[in-house]
Amino acid sequence: MELPSESDMGNFAGSHRQEIKLGYNSKSTKIMTGILHAPLLMMTTITVALNLSLSPMLVHTLQNNTEKFSVQKIGAPEALRYAVRKYNENSDELYLDVVVQEKDIKVQHEAAGTKYLFHVILGQSICWNLEPFLRSCPLKDPLQRKTCHFEVYVEQLKNQMSLTSSKCNNM
């Protein structure tokens, strides 16, 4: 088998260069392409702007801001129960503390999960701290209360909760 000579290679490369040049010589093709892409870009921009203006939740998610909401929002009741249960487990008090009032609840959406921020009022119940958490534990002393701030992080992919911050002060 014989290899092509340098002159043959030059002619081959030159002929292909000619074909490539012919494909890009058309100025009207470039102009038409630009004209067709401009309306598509404008429609996409308008669609995104309308979606952001109509969906405040999407704006909060994109800006990574916190959002106020009620405890009935999906995921919040479980996160609050988890926070209070962990607080009681780590407490050296004889009686369980229970939520008396929800003052402020916020959610912050992050890339890997959701952070819940709770500001609640706890009261001491008549239930022993050693007992499993019961749904109805009446208050021992309605005037003895504490204000608490809990931060719960929920990892969606791992389906795990963790109490990242817990601070309580007597009122």
DSSP sequence for 112-163: SEEEEEEEEEEEEEEEETTSPPPS---BS-TT-EEEEEEEEEEETTTTEEEE
Alpha-carbon distance values, 126 to 95, 134, 159 (Å): 6, 11, 33
For 39-71, b where at least 16 C-beta lie within 10 A, e where not — what string? eeeeeeeeeeeeeeeeeeeeeeeeeeeeeeeee
pLDDT of residue 103: 93
Note the pLDDT of residue 65.
Answer: 52
User: 18-27, 44-53, 103-112 — which one is most confidently predicted on average?
Assistant: 103-112
- Confidence class of residue 63 from pLDDT cuts 50, 70 and 90? very low
| pLDDT band at residue 55 using 50, 70 and 90 as cut-offs | very low
Q: What is the pLDDT of residue 67?
A: 54
User: What's residue 171's pLDDT?
Assistant: 87
pLDDT score at 60: 43
Phi-psi region of 4 (alpha: psi -120 to 50; beta: other; left: phi over 0): beta
The answer to which of 25-29, 45-49, 90-94 has the lowest mean pLDDT is 25-29
Band the pLDDT of 19: cuts 50, 70, 90. very low
> Per residue in 142-166, pLDDT tens?
888 999 999 999 998 888 999 999 9
CA 23 – CA 169 distance, rounded (Å): 76
Q: Distance between CA 4 and CA 62 in Å, rounded?
A: 60
Strand partners, 153: 115, 162
Work out the angle between the directed axes of helices 56-63 and 27-54 (0-180°, nearest 10).
Answer: 110
Statement: residue 53 has pLDDT above 80: no
Residue 134: the pLDDT is 62
